[in-house]
Amino acid sequence: MENKFSVIAHRNHQICNPFSMEKLMRVLTQIPWRKGNRVLDIGAGKCEVLIELINRFEVEGTAIELEKAFVEDAWQNAEGRIPFEHLSVINEDAKKVLPRYDQSFDVVMCLGASHAIGDYRTTLAAMSKAVKPGGYLLVGEGYWKRKPDEAYLEALGAKEEELLTHAENIKEGEAQGLIPMWATVTNEDEWDNYEWLYSSSMETYCLENPDDPDVAWMRERIRKWRTTYLRWGRDTLGFGLYLFYRK
């Protein structure tokens, strides 16, 4: 049921993270792209970012995505925009897939999906193994804007140590031998656009599908989530994009 909730709540998102394509591309254009570069996206969602990179820079994209509904969306999104042979989508657990790759990619991305590997630190380490020397890593990761209230952590079912600060996210990359090349953070408009689209997609589904036996549970959950965001999350939780270079 968790997967069902996530798919419905994200059904109208182009990117399943709280940043705009414009902001993301400003970071990605810091990379000196070459035709044929190999790019890996871990937890790629609907593959919108990879599709855009293939379209703009003629790269070869590989996506790892566990959710089958997102994989189906990805191929629909790709139709008519890119040659299908330039996109490979692996519908498996990232932890099982990544060991197959050793210094295989010019660019490795993981945008808001570090949970697919473990945590931020283990994700950076795994990405570093998959990227070639002289390659780039782009990570999208949450961070604390301020110390989270205990009530907020309880509502999330989270622990404070699960996230770092913005500065600590950058320092962790340096501690693993990576060179920080660029960083930016989500602004309030981007957060609101993400959260309200997430919320309204679920509310609309519940209105349109009153006979779904899961509607009561989903409606209660989205309303608790929305209250949590408005009461604590908007002022507490940040999201950053971190571009690193591997020597």
Q: Please state, in angstroms and rounded to a whole number, the distance separating the CA atoms of residues 105 and 93.
A: 19
Sorted by sequence, the CB contacts under 8 Å of residue 57 that are 6+ apart come out as: 33, 34, 35, 37
What fold, for 19-186+237-246?
Answer: Rossmann fold (3.40.50)
Per-residue pLDDT of the chain (247 residues; tens, 9 = 90+): 788 999 999 999 999 999 999 999 999 999 999 999 999 999 999 999 999 999 999 999 999 999 999 999 999 999 999 999 999 999 999 999 999 999 999 999 999 999 999 999 999 999 999 999 999 999 999 999 999 999 999 999 999 999 999 999 999 999 999 999 999 999 999 999 999 999 999 999 999 999 999 999 999 999 999 999 999 999 999 999 999 999 9
Centroid of chain to Cα 145:
19
The amino acid at 167: A
Decide: 63 and 74 in contact? Cβ < 8 Å: yes
Tally DSSP H helices, then E strands, for the chain. 11, 7
Q: What is the DSSP string of 8-50?
A: HHTTT-SSSSSS-HHHHHHHHTTS---TT-EEEEET-TT-HHH
**Predicted TM-score of the model (pTM):** 0.96
